[in-house]
Amino acid sequence: MIGSTAWAGKRFAVLGLARSGAATVRALVASGAEVTAWDSDEGRRNDLPLPFRGEGRGEGQSAGAGDLSSGFATSPLPTLSPEGERALVIADPLTIDLTGFAGVVVSPGVPLNTHPIAAQAKAAGVPVIGDIELFAQARADLPPHKVVGITGTNGKSTTTALIHHILQTAGVPSLMGGNIGLPILGQKPLPEGGVYVLELSSYQIDLTQSLDCDVAVLLNITPDHLDRYDGFDAYAASKARLFAMQSAGHAAIVGIGDEASAGIARQVARAGRAEDLTKIAPGVCMDQSRWPALQGPHNAQNALAAIAACEALGIGNAAIDAGLASFEGLPHRTRTVAIRNGVRFVDDSKATNPESVAPALRAFDRVHWILGGVAKSDSLEACRPGFAHVAAAYTIGEAGPLFERLLSGEGFPVEACGTLDVAVARAAAAAHPNETVLLSPACASFDQFADYAARGEAFAALVEKLA
C-alpha cells in the first residue's frame, strides 16, 4: 500500500469507512500514525480488515476485526507496540477534542456544506482533507513518477480509463484511482517511471490542498451537484483548483466547449502559463471509425483529451493509436451489451444528468430512448441536440410524468412505462434492424435501483432474456 514517513506519530481522524476510508485507515496506521475512525454504519466499523494491537489486550495480542469497536471505543491511544503498529480507536470525531490532530480525513460523500465536522475541525484548527491529499503528501516517499488528474462533469471516467489503457499499451507502468477503480492508498506503489492516473470529482478536489499534477485535464463543466455548492460559479471554482495547485511547466489540458471551462483556460493563460495550456475545441472532425468503443462527439472530446495527455507524457503516436483502437470502454457508458436481430442495445446508465445524454443520442442514428429515475433538473433542454436521432422515448421512474410532459410535441412518440422491464420490452418490440435501444436516463437511479451500475446491470439482464 502507499504510505508516508511524514505521517508517523501524527494523529488523524477518518470519517467514512467504505472502501477508500478503510484503505486510508490501513495506510495511516501502517505508516505509524494514530487513527480515530468512524462510520455511522456499524457494519463498516466492525468490518475494518485490520488486525490492530491495542491497550487492554496486552502487547502482541491481536485484536480481530469483529471486536474493534468494543475494544477501542473508549481506550486512549497506546504507545507503539514492539512491531511498530499503533492502535485504532473507533470513535465519532464529533465527540472528541480534535486539537492537535494533523487532519480529519473524510469521504467525498460527506457534505461539507452541511455536516458539522467541518465547523468542528475549523474551530480546532485542523484541516479537512481526503485520501487524494494524503496521496499528494506521500509522493515524496514514492519512486519517481508522474500524476495525471482528470476532472469534468461528464466523460472523466472514460478519459481516465482511456489514458490508463494507452499507457499500458505503451508499456508504461500505471495505476488508475481516485473516483474510479481501487482506492489509491490501498494500491502497491508503482516502480520508477510509473504514472498514476486519477479521476477527480469536485468533492475530491475540495478535499485536496497540494496535488501538483504533471498533467491536469478538465473536460467540461455543466450544472451538477449544486446542492453541495453556493451556485454554479462555486462548483466551477472547485474544478479550477486542480490547475491552481499545479506548478508552472506542468501540462494543463482544458476543453473549451462551455463558457465556464473556457474561462478556466483563460485563467491558466493569465497566470503566465500559456505555454502549458492545450485547449480542446469542440466540433473537431475526427475519424472515429477505428475506435469501436469511442463513438459519438462526446467520445471525440474524450479521445482528444487523452491524446493530448499522453503526448504530454511523451507517449509515441503508434502506441496512442493502438490504445485508442483496442480500448473496450467502461461499463454503463454508451457500451453495447448485445445486438439482437440487427438492433443494438446500449447501456448508458451512467448518464445521470441531461447534459450527458445529448452526446449519447447523437452517437446513433435512430434511437429508442429509455429515460427516467430521480430527476436532477426539471428541464431536458440539454438533450435537445440529440432529439433528431430519437425514434421514440420510453419513460420510467419518478421523473416519468415530468419527462412525458417535457417531450410532448417534440415529433416522436413517448410511452409511459413506469419500470425498466416494461420499457425494454416495448422498445425492443418497436425497434427495427440498424436501430438502437439506448438506456440513457438523464436521472439518478435511487427511486428503483441501488445505483447507476445496478440499473445498467438490470438493463443487460433484461436484454439477455429477450427472445
Residue at 294: amino acid letter: L
CATH no., domain 335-465? 3.90.190.20
- Give residue 72's pLDDT: 32
225 catalytically annotated:
yes
Question: Per the residue annotation, which of 145, 146, 156, 250 is the catalytic one?
Answer: 156
For the chain, counts of helices (H) and of strands (E): 15, 19
The predicted model scores a pTM of: 0.80
Query: For residues 273 and 251, what is the distance between their CA atoms, to the nearest angstrom?
Result: 9
% of the chain at pLDDT higher than 90: 78
Average confidence (pLDDT) over 140-162 = 95
Question: Per the residue annotation, which of 10, 115, 225, 279 is the catalytic one?
Answer: 225
Strands (E), 84-187: 88-90, 103-106, 128-129, 145-151, 174-178
- Bridge partners (DSSP) listed for residue 374: 444
165 catalytically annotated:
no
Question: Per the residue annotation, which of 154, 179, 220, 302 is the catalytic one?
Answer: 179
pLDDT in tens, 421-445: 999 999 999 999 999 999 999 999 9
Query: For residues 155 and 218, what is the distance between their CA atoms, to the nearest angstrom?
Result: 10
How far is CA 186 from its chain centroid? 17
Comparing 135-326 with 335-465, is the CATH topology the same? no
Helix, strand and coil in the chain, % to nearest 5: 40, 20, 40
C-alpha closest to that of 332 among 164, 431, 445 = 445
Tell the CATH superfamily of the 5-129 domain.
Answer: NAD(P)-binding Rossmann-like Domain (3.40.50.720)
Q: Per-domain residue ranges for the chain?
A: 5-129, 135-326, 335-465
pLDDT in tens, 22-32: 999 999 999 99
Among the ranges given (40-54, 60-74, 130-144, 239-253), the one the predictor scored with the smallest mean pLDDT: 60-74
Say yes or no: domain 135-326 is CATH 3.40.1190.10: yes
Query: Is the per-residue pLDDT at 322 higher than 50?
Result: yes
Question: For residue 26, what are the CA distances in angstroms to 2, 30, 108, 137, 188?
Answer: 10, 6, 18, 16, 13
Among the ranges given (64-78, 93-107, 314-328, 340-354), the one the predictor scored with the smallest mean pLDDT: 64-78
156 catalytically annotated:
yes
- Give residue 80's pLDDT: 39
